[in-house]
């Protein structure tokens, strides 16, 4: 039998440092139909407005097909940029359409920000724990991650000392229903964070993919909306993945014009522009207020699923286990007794056809290995109950 050929390319040092996402590796296991998966961060397909999206694409192609199939400006489709700016301003921001860049999902936004803001060894502040996809994206540019302390209320603004912020390129934060913990910053902490960032000259990258998915509590202003009050530099990331569908791969960046200009240059070298057809179809779908009609349905799906999981946790898990109670979004965070390693627990859980994400990959610094993330939005209620029951039995073996 012939031996496989040796690779004919020499990979760059950057490529040699690439690793697969821990979540993606777990998801390979969950492809088995018998596995109850709390691992994926996927929106509920039952909330996808298939007919509305189909009609939007049909209308764009029928009315303006040639333009929709042509190259477009790197900045994005002008009417969509205007819609995004107006939507942000209704929530208290003060931005113009030329401060909006349309991107191919907010994951591309993270990559572009890494390209234009991070040099090798640059200090980047991140919540502890933080979104794995951001850590993975930024890592490609070889920063020095500096974790910022959090508690049950999320990021602690007072933890950002002058020494911690000195020389940092930015702070990356998710104030609403944070991934992985599900925590939400209070209004008091939001104001304190933006004020402190302004005083320290620290830019904030506000990632808000879940903000429209609130199903409990009171809405809070975004960090971008608070920025002008304190003179802070906030770069906001948003996405249509959670309010319409992730397969559209459509997001945006809102920032100072000088930052947008540099991001446009980086995007030109990446993919020229986000697909024109998709941008035009999404604009057609949202321009007349469809999201105001659609989002209550999505929120109710998530509220019911989340309540089911919280009830199951309370019934099945021992008192020594703690978890967050999110006001929205897709995740909750479980803290086990300190002697339990969630990675080892996962191996046992998979043997019983249950999957989750251990907490370790979400930490840029020293991980808390007794933590794990559960996602509840794509699992039927009966499977939520049976899956948590299995997890409870496994945990009780350690207690």
- Contacts of residue 319, defined as CB under 8 A and 6 or more positions apart, other chains included, come to none
Q: What is the mean pLDDT of residues 142-161?
A: 97
Read off the pLDDT band of 3 (50, 70, 90). Answer: low
Structure token digits, residue 165: 């912020």
Only one residue has tokens 């350690």, namely: 398
CATH number of the structural domain spanning residue 23: 3.90.1150.10
In the predicted structure, residue 18 carries a pLDDT above the cut 80:
no
Q: Which tens digit of pLDDT belongs to each residue from 270-319?
A: 999 999 999 999 999 999 999 999 999 999 999 999 999 999 999 999 99
Helix count and strand count (H, E) for the chain: 14, 15
- 214: which DSSP letter? B
CATH number of the structural domain spanning residue 154: 3.40.640.10
191 and 313 co-located in one domain: no
pLDDT value at residue 24: 63
Structure token digits, residue 327: 């006001």
Closest CA to 263 of 72, 111, 93, 85: 111
Write b or e for each residue in 205-231: b if 16 or more Cβ atoms lie within 10 A of its Cβ, otherwise e: bbbbbbbbbbbeeeebbbbbbbbeebe
Question: 9 lies in a domain?
Answer: no
Closest CA to 190 of 182, 200, 198: 198
In the predicted structure, residue 68 carries a pLDDT above the cut 70:
yes
pLDDT value at residue 76: 98
Read off the pLDDT band of 150 (50, 70, 90). Answer: very high
203 and 95 co-located in one domain: yes
Question: 10 lies in a domain?
Answer: no
pLDDT value at residue 25: 66
Closest CA to 184 of 158, 139, 229, 216: 216
In the predicted structure, residue 193 carries a pLDDT above the cut 90:
yes
**Final residue in a domain of this structure, among 227, 255, 288:** 288
364 and 267 co-located in one domain: no
Q: Do β-strands 150-151 and 154-155 pair in parallel, antiparallel, or remain unpaired?
A: antiparallel
- 109: which DSSP letter? H
Residues 245 and 281 sit within 8 Å (Cβ to Cβ): no
Rounded Cα distance, 365 and 145, in Å: 8
Closest CA to 256 of 136, 170, 159, 174: 170
142 and 209 co-located in one domain: yes
pLDDT value at residue 5: 61
Q: Which of 21-35, 318-332, 360-374 has the lowest mean pLDDT?
A: 21-35
pLDDT value at residue 219: 94
Question: 278 lies in a domain?
Answer: yes
Closest CA to 237 of 112, 363, 127: 112
C-alpha Rg value of the chain to the nearest Å: 22
122 and 235 co-located in one domain: yes
76 and 165 co-located in one domain: yes
In the predicted structure, residue 13 carries a pLDDT above the cut 90:
no
Asked, as a colleague might, if the bond just before 129 is cis with ω within 30 of 0, I would say: yes
Write b or e for each residue in 366-391: b if 16 or more Cβ atoms lie within 10 A of its Cβ, otherwise e: ebebbbbbbbbbbbeeebbbbbbebb
Q: Which domain, by its residues, includes 23?
A: 17-47+292-396
Structure token digits, residue 187: 């209004």
The rounded mean pLDDT for the chain is 94
Structure token digits, residue 39: 């691992």
Question: 30 lies in a domain?
Answer: yes
Only one residue has tokens 């975004």, namely: 222
- 175: which DSSP letter? -
282 and 175 co-located in one domain: yes
Rounded Cα distance, 21 and 14, in Å: 16
Residues 91 and 222 sit within 8 Å (Cβ to Cβ): yes
The total domain count for the chain is 2
* Percentage of the residues of the chain whose pLDDT score is greater than 90: 90
**Final residue in a domain of this structure, among 288, 311, 344:** 288
Higher pLDDT, 17 or 117: 117
Residues 220 and 187 sit within 8 Å (Cβ to Cβ): yes
In the predicted structure, residue 23 carries a pLDDT above the cut 70:
no
pLDDT value at residue 30: 65
Residues 180 and 329 sit within 8 Å (Cβ to Cβ): no
The CA-based angle 134-99-183, given to 5 degrees, is 35
- Contacts of residue 388, defined as CB under 8 A and 6 or more positions apart, other chains included, come to 309, 312, 313, 315, 316, 317
Question: 149 lies in a domain?
Answer: yes
- Contacts of residue 246, defined as CB under 8 A and 6 or more positions apart, other chains included, come to 42, 43, 105
**Final residue in a domain of this structure, among 288, 303, 325:** 288
Question: 120 lies in a domain?
Answer: yes
Q: Which tens digit of pLDDT belongs to each residue from 94-135?
A: 999 999 999 999 999 999 999 999 999 999 999 999 999 999
- Contacts of residue 61, defined as CB under 8 A and 6 or more positions apart, other chains included, come to 68, 277
211 and 192 co-located in one domain: yes
pLDDT value at residue 17: 77
265 and 327 co-located in one domain: no
147 and 200 co-located in one domain: yes
Q: What is the mean pLDDT of residues 39-48?
A: 91
> Distance from CA of residue 295 to its chain's centroid?
18
Question: 7 lies in a domain?
Answer: no
220 and 100 co-located in one domain: yes
pLDDT value at residue 22: 63
121 and 266 co-located in one domain: yes
pLDDT value at residue 332: 97
Question: 55 lies in a domain?
Answer: no
């Amino acid at each position: 039998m012939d031996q496989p050929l040796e690779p004919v390319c020499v990979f760059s040092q950057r490529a040699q440092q690439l690793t697969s996402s821990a979540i993606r590796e777990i998801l390979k296991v969950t492809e088995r139909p018998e596995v109850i998966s709390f691992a994926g961060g996927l929106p509920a397909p039952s909330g996808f407005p298939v007919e509305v999206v189909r009609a939007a694409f049909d209308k764009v192609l029928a009315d303006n097909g040639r333009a929709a199939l042509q190259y477009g400006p790197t900045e994005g489709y002008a009417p969509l940029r205007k819609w995004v700016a107006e939507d942000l301003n209704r929530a208290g921001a003060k931005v113009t359409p030329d401060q909006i860049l349309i991107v191919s999902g907010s994951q591309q936004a993270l990559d572009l920000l890494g390209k234009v803001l991070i040099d090798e060894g640059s200090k980047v502040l991140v919540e502890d724990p933080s979104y794995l996809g951001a850590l993975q994206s930024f890592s490609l540019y070889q920063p020095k991650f500096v974790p910022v302390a959090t508690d049950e209320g999320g990021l602690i603004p007072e933890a950002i000392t002058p020494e911690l912020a000195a020389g940092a390129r930015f702070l990356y934060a998710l104030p609403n229903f944070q991934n992985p913990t599900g925590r939400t910053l209070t209004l008091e902490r939001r104001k304190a964070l933006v004020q402190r960032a302004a005083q320290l000259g620290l830019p904030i990258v506000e990632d808000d993919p879940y903000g429209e998915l609130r199903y409990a509590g009171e809405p809070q202003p975004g960090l971008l909306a608070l920025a002008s009050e304190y003179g802070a530099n906030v770069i906001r990331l948003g996405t249509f993945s959670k309010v319409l569908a992730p397969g559209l791969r459509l997001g945006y960046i809102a920032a100072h014009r000088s930052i947008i200009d540099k991001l446009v240059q980086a995007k030109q070298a990446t993919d020229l522009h986000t697909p024109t057809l998709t941008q035009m179809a999404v604009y057609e779908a949202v321009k007349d207020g469809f999201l105001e009609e659609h989002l209550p349905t999505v929120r109710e799906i998530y509220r019911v699923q989340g309540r089911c999981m919280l009830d199951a946790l309370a019934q099945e898990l021992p008192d020594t286990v703690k978890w967050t109670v999110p006001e929205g979004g897709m995740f909750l965070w479980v803290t086990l007794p300190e002697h339990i390693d969630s990675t080892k627990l996962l191996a046992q859980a998979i043997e019983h056809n249950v999957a989750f994400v251990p907490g370790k990959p979400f930490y840029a610094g020293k991980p808390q290995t007794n933590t794990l993330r559960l996602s509840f939005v794509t699992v039927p209620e009966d499977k939520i109950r049976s899956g948590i029951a299995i997890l409870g039995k496994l945990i009780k073996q350690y207690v």
